[in-house]
Amino acid sequence: MPIKRVTISIETREPGRVSLESFRVTLEDLTTILHEVELELSEHRHTRLSWDIAELSLGSATVGLEPASEEESDLADRTSQTVIRGLQQLSREQTRPEFFNDTALERARHLARIAGDGISRINLFSNVPGQQLYVTETIAINTQAILEHLEFMGSVEGTLELISGREGEALYFRVRDVVSGAGVRCYFPEQMLERALAWFRKRVVASGIIQCDSSGKPRRIHVDNMELVPPMESLPQPDDVKGTMKDQTGGLPSERYLKERFGGG
């Protein structure tokens, strides 16, 4: 399978010149989107993909990125195609693309709003037919609508799926909420790290300030308390409840016990 390339090209009002800061921020936005989508695509991967610059044109401010090794080409292909399809979707509608978490959406919005310092347009494409788009303000508008959220105190419950703690970044784990089915990013303080590691792949209830997207689905929570949900086999079973009821009624059926205790026909 040939290695696919994702390329970003900055078109400027003054041909051949773009500010260093705009070039840096644009490339940073793109690489962050790639990383965040890769993280969602590959839930149990603990190291990020390595990208190499395979094309660099200073005159038109064009950068082409390819995976650093052929072993990573499959995930890199899926990541780059998902990113471009997602941005194409954001250019048409106010619907969250699959595998785009809030950080990816925030960077997409920022990328779409970079119009200063002489930039007239940003073009993003891969060497797969049909995968090309111009990053426009429409993407920023649609992304903003998706990111608008409601904050409230609450809890999410689900299996603790992933823990991330890269240097310089906030600690978080992810829970697949049993009510909405949404993957919720749970930011937690350092003192909860030991518990999070011990409860990995176990069912937990995380409580704190929840942020929901415009559709009402929880997307992130700043955790101030976390509890472990007991496994099903440790919970009282129907036979246990029946046994307890018989002890309380002196062995009489419930209906007869209630009649004798409280009267009635």
Buried b (16+ CB within 10 A) or exposed e, 194-231: eebeebeeebbebbbebbbbeeebbbbbbbeebeeeee
Bridge-based pairing of strands 183-187 and 218-228 is: parallel
Where do runs of H (alpha helix) occur along the chain? 20-41, 73-90, 102-112, 137-147, 193-198, 238-248, 254-262
Separation between Cα atoms, residue 29 and residue 36, nearest integer Å: 11
150 within 8 A of 212, measured Cβ to Cβ: yes
Taken as a whole, the chain contains a residue count of 265
CA 179 vs CA 83, 91, 158, 182, 237: distances in Å: 27, 30, 9, 8, 24
Separation between Cα atoms, residue 218 and residue 185, nearest integer Å: 9
Q: What pLDDT is recorded for position 143?
A: 93
The residue type of 260 is E
pTM (2 decimals)?
0.67
224 within 8 A of 186, measured Cβ to Cβ: no
Q: Over the stretch 7-16, which tens digit does the pLDDT of each residue have?
A: 898 888 777 7
Q: Over the stretch 34-82, which tens digit does the pLDDT of each residue have?
A: 998 998 888 655 567 888 888 888 666 888 888 888 778 888 888 988 9
